[in-house]
Structure 1
Amino acid sequence: MPERLVLRMRRSLADAIPEPLWPAGIRLVPFEPDRHAQKVHALLVKAYAQGGGYVEPFAIWWPSLRDDSEYDPTLCFLAANEQDELVGVAQCWTSAFVKDLAVDPAMRRQGLGAALLSHVFRAFAERGVPSVDLKVDADNPSGALRLYRSLGFETVETYRLG
């Protein structure tokens, strides 16, 4: 595995939090594990197919997520289209960490990632958390770094993996 440069980024929740602006026809749906876990996994696989992330096979991914001490199903935010297909997900840990943010490649650059993150910011601000963190590969090909910086994330740590 080649060495990767990873950035840990943080967004203060003391700053103004924008209202989520959902693309036309997109709405939030509550995460129901029995109904959505496999669909979330499929979306992660699809979104990460061109790089920018990795997801274990479902039989490994789901138990490790579900059984993690930081897992809370209310912190899995799903965006669906008018056909009820999942097109975006923000899976967060209770420590105010965005574990996964994935947008269907066909929906990228339409504001869905920004809307999901704005919703995440509001959810954690309601919990009284001072900031939200995430990690991203410095060479992420999906435009994620540009999105994160545009929403006020700043790099707080850089390290190499691999």
Structure 2
Amino acid sequence: MSLQVRPYRSDFEETVKNLSHKAWILFKYNQDYNHQRMSCVFNEDGNLICVGYLRHGIADNHDVFEVEMPTNELALNRMDEVRAALFPTFMETCQKLRNPNKKTKLVAWKDFYGDRAFYEEKGFSPFQTYYIARRSLEESIPEVRTPVGVNVQYHPMESREERIQYTELENQFYQGVVYRSVNMLEWMMGGPELHTISAFEGDELVGSVMCWQTGAVERLFVIPRWRNKGLGRVLITKGFEYHLKNGRNEAETLVHEQNKEAMSLLESMGYTFHVKLVLMSMDI
């Protein structure tokens, strides 16, 4: 008897929650996932061992569907079977949700689920390379001055208008697998901790960074006319200070290999780049 793949149903909710809190809370509260189908993989004993779904991103010239397939210990020795069982469902979902007028890419992080050979056999090839950048907060933090003409502060985004404005500006700098929707932002704001620090010139949002309880200092952006004035360093430093205040001893972020400007800035702030992640993709 082989693994069984079943569409998500409401009576699976507690089982999914036990396997992956992230998947459960995404499908329960993030409105982006109402139109997407989660696939549940069960073993021969009727135990849930994996849930598979796709995260939808948008770039200028193509749509992106990123593979997510959290598992539990019952799947550890059966990942080849799990991938083979879910792959047809992923393809079907892509075809159902894709924009027929745009190129579509199905992408997967080879480091997340092992076996690069499986993806290569299906027609995937290397697409993008990222690094996880880390910085010890036990080392001294450089002193920086906020540029004249800008105010840096906590940004709670209490109104939907503010959240729409923030998302539209942020997505000018982050697309593809890191694209964010207003629904995604609102879902994250409803979680245990998202602390956003933003820079304003008068009432205009000109830069920002986000902090998470994991120690992440991520999603840094500064609009072009405020670059090369030290504002990025100020925002990162404010992130360090926030995490130190909350008892964390390390900060990390994800950076694209080709974003040399960002890598140089992070290196100047004491980050190192020890973990390399390769994103594999295939055209649909």
Q: By the TM > 0.5 criterion, same fold?
A: yes
1:44 aligns with 2:170: yes
| Displacement after TM superposition at 1:91 (Å) | 0.9
Find runs of 4+ consecutive structure 1 residues off by over 4 angstroms.
none
Distance in 1 (CA, whole Å) between partners of 2:188 and 2:227 is 25
CA distance in 2, matches of 1:128, 1:48: 29
Other-structure match for 1:97: 216
Q: Structure 1 unaligned runs (5+)?
A: none
Q: Work out whether 1:33 is the aligned partner of 2:157.
A: yes
Report percent identity of matched pairs: 25
What number of residue pairs does the alignment pair up? 154
> Is 2:217–2:240's contact at 8 Å kept on the other side of the alignment?
no
In the alignment, the residues of structure 1 paired with residue 254 and residue 238 of structure 2 have an alpha-carbon distance, to the nearest angstrom, of 18
- Which residue matches 1:19? 143
1:146 aligns with 2:264: yes
2:174 is aligned with 1:79: no
Q: Which residue of 2 aligns with 1:62?
A: 185
Q: Does 1:119 align with 2:242?
A: no
Alpha-carbon offset, residue 64 of structure 1: 3.4
What TM-score does the superposition give when structure 2 sets the normalisation length? 0.50
Tell me if the contact between 2:134 and 2:253 (Cα under 8 Å) persists in the aligned partners.
Answer: yes
Asked whether the equivalents of residues 131 and 254 of structure 2 are also in contact (C-alpha less than 8 Å), the reply is yes
How far residue 84 of structure 1 moved from its aligned partner, in angstroms, is 1.6
- Tell me whether 1:129 sits opposite 2:248 in the alignment: yes
SS of 2:158's partner is helix
Higher relative contact order (CA 8 A, sep 6+): 1
SS in 2 for 1:128: coil
Given the superposition, is the C-alpha separation of residues 160 and 68 from structure 1 closer, same or farther in structure 2, using an over 3 Å criterion?
farther
Deviation at 1:159, TM superposition (A): 1.2
| SS in structure 1 at match of 2:197 | strand
Kept in 2, the 8 Å contact 1:43–1:102? The answer is no
Which residue of structure 1 lines up, in the alignment, with residue 37 of structure 2? none
Give the Å deviation of 1:27: 1.1
The DSSP-based 3-state class of the residue aligned with 2:221 is strand
2:257 & 2:204 partners in 1: Cα distance? 30
Shift of 1:68: 4.0
